[in-house]
DNA sequence: GCCAACGTTGGC
DNA sequence: GCCAACGTTGGC
């Protein structure tokens, strides 16, 4: 089972919105690098939800309810013949007991090479196995 | 195919 | 509000 981190701007769609809906389609990912990661998401994978903007913290846990599929709202193929835009369905699992601020991760040398810090504009990224345990512990779920 | 100009994201 | 880091677009 893989683990991902998905970013969202909470004023657009927050973890609370996902929790209220229980399950929601995660759409709107357009960045090619983010889409490469999103296409590898399989049902059952763990997803850490991170809020950008004023909060800048990992705030909740979700699970992939449906593996990556073509975004029905944005049909089209890329140059590799794949659907150009992928989406997944997410199911809310639980909020963090302790949200994990970006500042905490920046201060921790173990996260030095993590994409959240290194590639600040990437919105979908895998979480390396050695970091998932640390993050789970910090979030307290 | 290169690159300058422009647009966007997200941390500060 | 600013700006660094990327992406994208379009003229050549």
- The answer to whether the predicted template modeling score (pTM) of the entire model surpasses 0.85 is yes
A46-CA/B4-C1' distance, Å: 42
Q: Which neighbouring-strand residues pair with A88?
A: A26
Q: CA(A78)–C1'(B1) in Å? A: 20
Å between CA of A74 and C1' of B8: 20
Closest nucleotide C1' to the C-alpha of A32: C7
Maximum distance among all alpha carbons in chain A? 43
CA torsion A114→A28→A136→A96, rounded to 10°? 130
pLDDT tens, residue order, chain A (141 aa): 999 999 999 999 999 999 999 999 999 999 999 999 999 999 999 999 999 999 999 999 999 999 999 999 988 887 777 888 999 999 999 999 999 999 999 999 999 999 999 999 999 999 999 999 999 999 999
Sign of CA dihedral A73, A77, A78, A82: positive
């Amino acid at each position: 089972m893989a683990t991902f981190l998905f970013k969202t701007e909470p004023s657009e769609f927050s973890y609370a919105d996902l929790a209220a809906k229980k399950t929601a389609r995660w759409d709107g990912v357009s960045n090619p690098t983010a889409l490469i990661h999103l296409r590898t998401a399989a049902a059952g994978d763990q997803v850490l939800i991170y809020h950008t903007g004023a909060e800048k913290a990992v705030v909740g846990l979700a699970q992939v309810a449906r593996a990556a599929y073509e975004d029905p709202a944005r049909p089209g193929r890329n140059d590799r013949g794949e659907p150009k835009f992928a989406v997944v369905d997410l199911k809310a699992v639980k909020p963090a007991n302790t949200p994990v601020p970006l500042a905490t991760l920046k201060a921790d040398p173990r996260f030095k090479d993590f994409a959240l810090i290194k590639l600040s504009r990437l919105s979908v990224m895998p979480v390396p196995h050695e970091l998932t345990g640390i993050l789970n512990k910090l979030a307290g779920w």
